[in-house]
């Protein structure tokens, strides 16, 4: 969704960017991340070292590679108008993945701008053990706290008339509500709550008898319905009649939140349905080419803006009839290469694996 949205101006998106709020792809990523981490680390406090080691292995190698690739691919650091000292400070913040913790455009969008989301994700990793311990006691408390934080920052934006000019203003609602980890924590915790619902319901669903309930066809219909609900929500959330539902001063802020994360509850429901793995759509996701695309998606996300910048610097190529296909093919190939040659080897190295260790008795 994000790649389609970002490349729409240059290559089009078959009308999807005009009819769906594709920016909510980040929201889906946050919800899914909360679910997956809760699923894999239900007792995270007993495995803190391995948890954070795995998080470093997950984020940093590809992130650093994406920063270093900027001048090589696009010929720029994407830091126009900044002094040398500011560049050093912001580069350090980017390298440490804390750039989104600073609510200024020069911090969270400089260099590889899309990396703001993994900076936000890095904050979630710090909060995860505390949220997980709380979640095991009650799903209500962590969700209420997270939602309260989102509401608080929405109130700040309204109370202090924070600029809605997200395209030019250094300090705007983008830094307060969009990239701010505390304001986006609700989506991550919602994913964790979805995991708890999944764990609580899985055994009951497996225990229900009846041909229809156990039929892959039935679950395929359920999966299709949840995907349809997600698509409908992506279309509808930016078009809700907010002006008739909230006080006048809140309209822009509520609309901004809905446009960027209004489908999070539907995403959580869809993730639970697909986690059951009983329908044809979830089975298709286990097909090896789809699995590889999924594994390469992190590299695709971090490198797509850089390759897009390369194309935008060459209008003659963008004007070609099939330039959109060329962009997608080249970006997917690059993402696959980064995943195979950088992401996986570095992750194995950090985690202490030796995928290339030669057999002792191998011939010379």
Residue 363 confidence (pLDDT)? 38
Q: What is the pLDDT of residues 56-78, one digit of tens each?
A: 999 999 999 999 999 999 888 77
Position 8 in a domain: no
Position 142 in a domain: yes
Position 139 in a domain: yes
Residue 359 confidence (pLDDT)? 39
Position 20 in a domain: no
* Spatial separation of the C-alpha atoms in residues 179 and 172, rounded to whole Å: 11
* Spatial separation of the C-alpha atoms in residues 168 and 91, rounded to whole Å: 21
Q: Which of these ranges, 23-37, 249-263, 294-308, 344-358, has the smallest mean pLDDT?
A: 344-358
Task: Tell which residue, 315, 219, 199, has the closest CA to residue 274.
Answer: 219
* Helix (H) / strand (E) containing 9: helix 2-11
The residue range of the domain holding 122 is 26-283
Position 3 in a domain: no
Position 166 in a domain: yes
Q: What is the pLDDT of residues 188-197, one digit of tens each?
A: 999 999 999 9
Residue 80 confidence (pLDDT)? 66
pLDDT over 90, % of the chain: 84
- Do 78 and 112 touch, CB atoms closer than 8 A? yes
Residue 356 confidence (pLDDT)? 52
- Beta-carbon contacts of 145 under 8 Å, excluding residues fewer than 6 positions away, are 189
3-state secondary structure at position 34: helix
Residue 361 confidence (pLDDT)? 44
3-state secondary structure at position 363: coil
Position 332 in a domain: no
Q: What is the pLDDT of residues 222-277, one digit of tens each?
A: 999 999 999 999 999 999 999 999 999 999 999 999 999 999 999 999 999 999 99
- Beta-carbon contacts of 112 under 8 Å, excluding residues fewer than 6 positions away, are 63, 66, 67, 70, 78, 94, 302, 305, 306
Residue 355 confidence (pLDDT)? 56
DSSP states of 208-265:
---HHHH-HHHHHHHHHHHHHHHHHHHHHGGGS-GGGTS-GGGHHHHHHHHHHHTTHH
Judged against a pLDDT cut of 80, whether residue 302 lies above it is answered with yes
Average pLDDT of span 208-222: 84
DSSP states of 270-317:
HHHHHHH--SHHHHHTTSHHHHHHHHHHHHHHHHHHHHHHHHHT-HHH
Position 350 in a domain: no
Domain count, the chain: 1
3-state secondary structure at position 139: coil
103 or 208, higher pLDDT: 103
Judged against a pLDDT cut of 60, whether residue 331 lies above it is answered with yes
355 or 221, higher pLDDT: 221
pTM of the model: 0.94
DSSP states of 150-204:
HHHHHHHHHHTT----TTT-SSSHIIIIIS-HHHHHHHHHHHHHHHHHHHHHHHH
Radius of gyration from C-alpha coordinates of the chain = 22
């Amino acid at each position: 969704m994000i790649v389609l949205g970002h490349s729409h101006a240059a290559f089009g998106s078959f009308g999807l960017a005009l009819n769906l709020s594709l920016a909510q792809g980040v929201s889906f990523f946050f919800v899914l991340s909360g679910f997956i981490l809760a699923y894999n680390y239900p007792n995270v406090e007993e495995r803190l070292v391995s948890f954070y080691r795995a998080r470093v292995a997950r984020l940093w190698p590809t992130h650093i590679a994406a920063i270093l690739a900027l001048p090589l691919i696009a010929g720029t650091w994407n830091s126009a108008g900044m002094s040398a000292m500011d560049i050093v400070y912001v580069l350090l913040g980017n390298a440490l993945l804390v750039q989104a913790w600073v609510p200024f455009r020069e911090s969270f969008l400089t260099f590889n701008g899309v990396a703001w989301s993994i900076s936000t994700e890095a904050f979630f990793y710090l909060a995860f053990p505390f949220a997980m311990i709380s979640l095991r006691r009650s799903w209500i408390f962590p969700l209420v706290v997270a939602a309260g934080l989102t509401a608080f920052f929405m109130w700040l934006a309204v109370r202090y008339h924070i600029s809605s000019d997200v395209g030019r203003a250094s300090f705007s609602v983008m830094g307060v509500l969009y990239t701010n980890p505390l304001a986006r924590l609700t989506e991550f915790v919602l994913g964790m709550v979805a995991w708890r619902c999944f764990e609580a319901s899985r055994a009951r669903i497996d225990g229900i008898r009846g041909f229809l309930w156990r039929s892959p066809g039935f679950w395929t219909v359920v999966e299709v319905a949840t995907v349809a609900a997600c698509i409908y929500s992506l279309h509808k959330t930016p078009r809700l009649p907010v002006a008739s539902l909230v006080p006048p001063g809140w309209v822009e802020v509520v609309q901004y939140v809905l446009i960027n994360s209004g489908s999070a509850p539907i995403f959580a429901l869809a993730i639970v349905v697909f986690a059951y793995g009983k329908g044809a759509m979830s089975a298709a996701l286990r097909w090896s080419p789809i699995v590889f695309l999924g594994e390469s998606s992190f590299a695709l996300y971090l490198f797509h803006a850089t390759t897009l910048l390369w194309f935008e610097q060459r209008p003659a190529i963008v004007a070609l009839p099939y330039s959109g296909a060329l962009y997608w093919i080249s970006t997917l190939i690059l993402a696959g290469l980064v995943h195979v040659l950088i992401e996986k080897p570095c992750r194995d190295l950090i985690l202490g694996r030796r995928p290339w260790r030669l057999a002792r008795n191998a011939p010379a």
